[in-house]
């Protein structure tokens, strides 16, 4: 068991990649704190974990943009169960649009969740992790952390920020025994991806075109991203910090 006796905190764990990461970490013995704004989704993730008779889980409703609430939940969890791993996964996309057409409200929404949410999560977890002298943070970036994606300017800005912010955290927290890494997924088959395709003129054709652009000729599965998150969270990655692990079926290298 790679996370035996560890407590793993996952944001946005009521769906997609966050749910897969919560389940995968629990399957390796972790007690998982499943958080999300979506109560039904979060409770469903906990039920999956309980049904699988895995490490154990509880749901806490949390909006990652609320820094005070984040601090409160993390302190509470740390007191009850300890805290070993923070996975800042919650994130949102936006419809494909030229930069100059993106409404200020959309820009602010994307930055609020994708950047401030990760900032809040690290700010809440770091005092606990540094004080105890060990721990791992895994932030979820994107291919948009390393590539400038057309018609995804606000998303690219937010995810580029996540990657470089995580490097800064790694440099700051390393002397305290705390690691921080980013997973950068390519297009992964989740409700977020579904929403992206649904916004296109011909969703089925858009999906087919996207799949064809990947050397492996398919989108990623949330479980494949969860495996990378688990790796970076576990002691197998004990000398890896400040790294951006691209998991993209070869898209960025072809």
Alpha carbon 46 to chain centroid distance? Answer: 17
Q: Which residues, in sequence order, are CB contacts of 170 under 8 Å at separation 6+?
A: 179, 180, 181, 241, 242, 243
DSSP state of 33: E
Pairing between β-strand 31-36 and β-strand 135-140 as defined by DSSP bridges: unpaired
In the list 10, 32, 85, 113, the residue contacting ligand NAI (rule: CB under 6 A) is 113
DSSP state of 112: I
Based on the shown chain and the rule CB under 6 A, indicate whether residue 32 belongs to the binding site for ligand NAI: no
Based on the shown chain and the rule CB under 6 A, indicate whether residue 14 belongs to the binding site for ligand NAI: yes
Per the CB < 8 A criterion, the answer to whether 124 and 137 are in contact is no
Task: Write down the least CB distance from residue 226 to ligand NAI, Å.
Answer: 10
Based on the shown chain and the rule CB under 6 A, indicate whether residue 36 belongs to the binding site for ligand NAI: yes
The β-bridge partners of 10 are 34, 87
Based on the shown chain and the rule CB under 6 A, indicate whether residue 89 belongs to the binding site for ligand NAI: yes
Which range binds ligand NAI by CB under 6 A, 30-38, 102-110, 174-182, 201-209?
30-38
The β-bridge partners of 182 are 139, 244
Annotated active-site positions, please?
155
Residues 136-165 that bind ligand NAI (CB under 6 A): 140, 142
Query: Where does this chain bind ligand NAI (CB under 6 A)?
Result: 11-12, 14-18, 36-38, 41, 62-65, 89-92, 113, 117, 140, 142, 185, 187-188, 190-193
């Amino acid at each position: 068991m790679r996370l035996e006796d560890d407590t793993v905190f996952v944001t946005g764990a009521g769906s997609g990649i966050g749910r897969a990461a919560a389940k995968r970490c629990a399957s390796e013995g972790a007690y998982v704190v499943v958080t999300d704004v979506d109560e039904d989704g979060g409770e469903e993730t906990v039920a999956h974990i309980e049904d699988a008779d895995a490490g154990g889980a509880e749901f806490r409703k949390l909006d990652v943009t609320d820094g005070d609430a984040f601090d409160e939940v993390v302190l509470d969890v740390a007191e009850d169960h300890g805290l070993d791993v923070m996975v800042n996964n919650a994130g949102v996309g936006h419809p494909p649009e030229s930069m100059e057409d993106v409404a200020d409200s959309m820009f602010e929404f994307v930055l609020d969740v994708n950047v401030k949410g990760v900032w809040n999560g690290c700010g809440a977890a770091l005092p606990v992790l540094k004080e105890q002298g060990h721990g791992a943070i895994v932030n979820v970036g994107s291919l948009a952390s390393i590539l400038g994606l057309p018609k995804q300017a606000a998303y690219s800005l937010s995810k580029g920020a996540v990657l470089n912010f995580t490097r800064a955290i790694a440099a700051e927290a390393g002397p305290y025994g705390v690691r921080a890494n980013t997973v950068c997924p390519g297009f992964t088959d989740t409700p977020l991806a579904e929403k992206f395709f649904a916004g296109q003129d011909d969703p089925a054709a858009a999906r087919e075109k996207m799949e064809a652009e990947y050397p492996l000729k398919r989108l990623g599965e949330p479980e494949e991203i969860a495996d990378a998150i688990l790796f970076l969270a576990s002691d197998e990655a004990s000398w890896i910090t400040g790294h951006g692990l691209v998991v993209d079926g070869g898209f960025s290298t072809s």
